[in-house]
Amino acid sequence: MLRFILKRLLQAIPLLLGIATITFAMVHLAPGDPMDMYMEQRFQREVDPQVIELLRKKYGLDQPLPVQYAKWIGNVAQGDLGESFRYRRPVTSLIAERVPYTLQLAVLALFFDALIGIALGIISAVRQYSRTDRAITVGSLVMYSIPGFWLALMLVLVFSVNLNWFPTSQTRSLDYELLSLPGKVLDRLWHLALPVFVLGVASAAGTARFMRNKLLDVLSEEYVVGARARGLSERAVILQHALRNALIPIVTIYGLALPFLLGGAVLIEKVFAWPGMGLLAVEAIGARDYPVILATSMIAAVLVVVGNLFADVTYALVDPRVSYGGKRLA
């Protein structure tokens, strides 16, 4: 098992290096200059071109691209992600501030997805072709198809602007520090409600569809028919036999879902002014803040690799039939 994980991690190195090279090339070859943020700032004052040249030199932007690349890779290998052009602060500290916010959203959205998606999938499968099944099927398809940013804006319009039930932005109330501990917890949940719902609802709809189909497949397997023939109750058949096997592929989905949730968080963070990594990445792209763009892209790439690995390993752990490299892992 350990060998398998190490092998996969070693395989990931050239992959990540490739991604790093392509991302670096794309970012630097794309039109736009990071020093443009100093151009006619606030439409009133043009920064002295001499100052811009000095800044260019400071950040190494005056050097040939291969030299810039070699320096960047060398620094990244030592854990130094550089200094943000825009904030003029180390990228690692910027990201360290933002990651917890994004993880809050992503983890709660995954939880929401699992809770609602699996439950609806089971109900749908158990009541196949019933009105409930049809309603869940149609509802899932609709929720799966709705663009996240549109849903976010609609929810803000209805629940924040019109009904005034939920906040429109930020992670906490202005007076958060004055609240008691339960008050603080409620306040955080209150702020998380809409973004988590938007982020989790589409994947929950997908999970529901997947769960339904998988459970129906399993329910038609011989061992389930055998269990029924032995006189087990339908509840026992589903909970003790069918459900466990139907849940196995779901594990794979969750392993792969995390990077996609982070991708979705970019838009959600923008709409709700949620100060996470996604918003940082969007702002960085707009400002051509190369070090931040590269760092956030690399983190996303690492998450995809780790997510895949997690999916493979957990799949092997929960399903004894799966083996890697000729040996069973579990």
Partner 1 sequence: MTTLRSASLLALLPLLIAGGCREARDPGLGRGATVVMAVPDVSDIKPDELALEVLIFLPLATLNEHGELEGRLARSWEHSADFKEWTYHLRTDLRWHDGKPVTARDIKFTLDLLAHPAILKDVGYNATIVDDSTVRIRAAKPDYLDDIVFYPEHLLKSLDPRKFWEWDFWTHPVGNGPFRFVRYLPERLIEFEANPGYYKGKPRIERLILKFVGGAALTELLSGNVDIAQVQQTQIPGIANDPRFRVYRTVTSASHPIYWKADHPLFRDSRVRRALIHALDRRAILGVMNLPPDLPITDAVLTSRQFRRREWPEPLAYDTTFARTLLAAAGWVDRNGDGILDKDGRPFRFTASVGSSFGLEKMAVYVQAQLRRAGIQMDIQMFDESVMWDKRRGGDFEAWMFVQGQLGGPFGRGNPLGYANVQAFELIDRLRETADPDEEDRIYREISKVFLDDPPMVRLLTHSQALFVHRRIRGFRSGLGSEPDGYMDELWVEK
Does 54 interact with partner 1 (rule: CB under 8 A)? yes
Comparing CB distances to partner 1, the nearer of 119 and 216 is 119
Q: Minimum Å distance from CB 145 to partner 1?
A: 23
Q: Per rule CB under 8 A, is residue 46 in the interface with partner 1?
A: yes
- What number of chain residues touch partner 1 (CB under 8 A)? 63
Backbone φ and ψ for 294, nearest 5 degrees, come out as -65, -40
Contacting range for partner 1; rule: CB under 8 A; set: 20-28, 54-62, 218-226, 293-301: 54-62
- Based on CB atoms, which residue is closest to partner 1, 3 or 88? 88
Least distance between partner 1 and beta carbon 45 (Å): 6
Q: If binding is defined by CB under 8 A, does position 40 make contact with partner 1?
A: yes
Closest to partner 1 by CB, 236 vs 329, is: 236
**Encoded amino acid at 227, one letter:** A
- Note whether 214 binds partner 1 by CB under 8 A: no
User: Does 234 help bind partner 1 (rule: CB under 8 A)?
Assistant: no
Task: State the nearest-atom distance from the C-beta of 214 to partner 1, in Å.
Answer: 18
Per CB under 8 A, contacts with partner 1 among 152-191 are: 156-157, 160-161, 164-177, 179, 186-187, 189-190
Phi/psi of residue 184, nearest 5 degrees: -65, -40
In the complex, the smallest distance separating the C-beta of residue 255 from partner 1, rounded to whole angstroms, is 24
CA-nearest of 15, 10, 16 to 294 is 16
Q: What mask of x and - would describe binding to partner 1 in positions 277 to 296, judged by CB under 8 A?
A: --xx--x--xxx--------
The Cα-based distances of 47 to 50, 55, 58, 83, 283 in angstroms read 8, 11, 16, 21, 21
Site for partner 1 in 84-103 (CB under 8 A): 86-90, 97, 101
| Smallest distance from partner 1 to CB 193, Å | 5
For position 31 contacting partner 1 by CB under 8 A, the verdict is: yes
Q: Which of 24, 254, 272, 290 binds partner 1 (CB under 8 A)?
A: 272
Contact residues for partner 1, defined by CB under 8 A:
31-33, 36, 39-40, 42-46, 48, 50-51, 54-55, 58, 86-90, 97, 101, 115-116, 119, 123, 156-157, 160-161, 164-177, 179, 186-187, 189-190, 193, 270-273, 275, 279-280, 283, 286-288
